[in-house]
Amino acid sequence: MRSPVYIAALLVAVLLDGSFLQVLSIGSARPWVFPVMLAFVCFNASKSAAWWGALGMGVLYDLVSPVAGAAGTTIVVIGPNTMGCLLAAAAAIPLRGVVFKRNPVAVGVLAGALLLIHQIGWFAGWTIRGWLGDPVPWTVGQVGGAMLASFWASCATAVLGIPVSFLLDRIEGWWGFPPIGSVARRV
């Protein structure tokens, strides 16, 4: 996988997720583009590149997600999104041989599922931070609501994932993925 292409795509994804995709939200169903990209990379890149890509994606999303600390200060925590992305990658990479990766519907639905898995890691990461005394980005007593919102977001992501994975499939040549069946793809 060509790193510059991945980094550029990642920056576009973080901009879209952070500043634009709320335009497509319906109630709590707010789509995200990063699970689609994660699924695309995990299904096409070599294993090593997919793992590194997931790690980089998680760290970047953590860095652009400051939250307000206890005394109103701004804190940035590396971990929740990183754990979430690694968890999602751990779920996606073994499915490489199972999923028909050129089917946008399959990739879209899997992107929705990956967002749910990512959210498990994200909640786990913040729960650990909560034990350490940091404020968690949800209100105590409203965790169920936050998880339900995650479910609706994954549904919206699955829908968005269909056209996005179709577009990514069209530009697959730019990414420099190793050919299917090659030794490089299995490493």
Interface ranges with other proteins (CB under 8 A): 11, 14-20, 22-23, 28, 32, 47-48, 51-52, 55, 58-61, 63-69, 71-80, 82-83, 86, 90, 93-94, 122, 125, 128-129, 132-135, 137-139, 141-142, 145-146, 149-150, 187
Q: Which residues contact 164 (CB under 8 A, 6 or more apart)?
A: 33, 36, 37, 108, 111
Least distance from other proteins to the Cβ atom of residue 165, Å: 20
Cα(21)–Cα(7) distance, integer angstroms: 19
* Cβ nearer to other proteins, comparing 12 with 180: 12
The beta strands (E) that lie in 25-181 are given as 67-68, 74-75
Least distance from other proteins to the Cβ atom of residue 145, Å: 6
H-helix or E-strand containing 15? helix 3-19
Residues in the chain: 187
* Cβ nearer to other proteins, comparing 83 with 109: 83
* Cβ nearer to other proteins, comparing 89 with 104: 89
Q: What b/e readout covers 32-60, taking b as 16+ CB neighbours within 10 angstroms? A: bbbbbbbbbbbbbbbbebbbbbbebbbeb
DSSP 83: H
Least distance from other proteins to the Cβ atom of residue 174, Å: 20
Least distance from other proteins to the Cβ atom of residue 83, Å: 7
Least distance from other proteins to the Cβ atom of residue 2, Å: 18
* Cβ nearer to other proteins, comparing 51 with 175: 51
* Cβ nearer to other proteins, comparing 16 with 160: 16
Distances (CA, A) of 163 to 68, 72, 131: 35, 40, 40
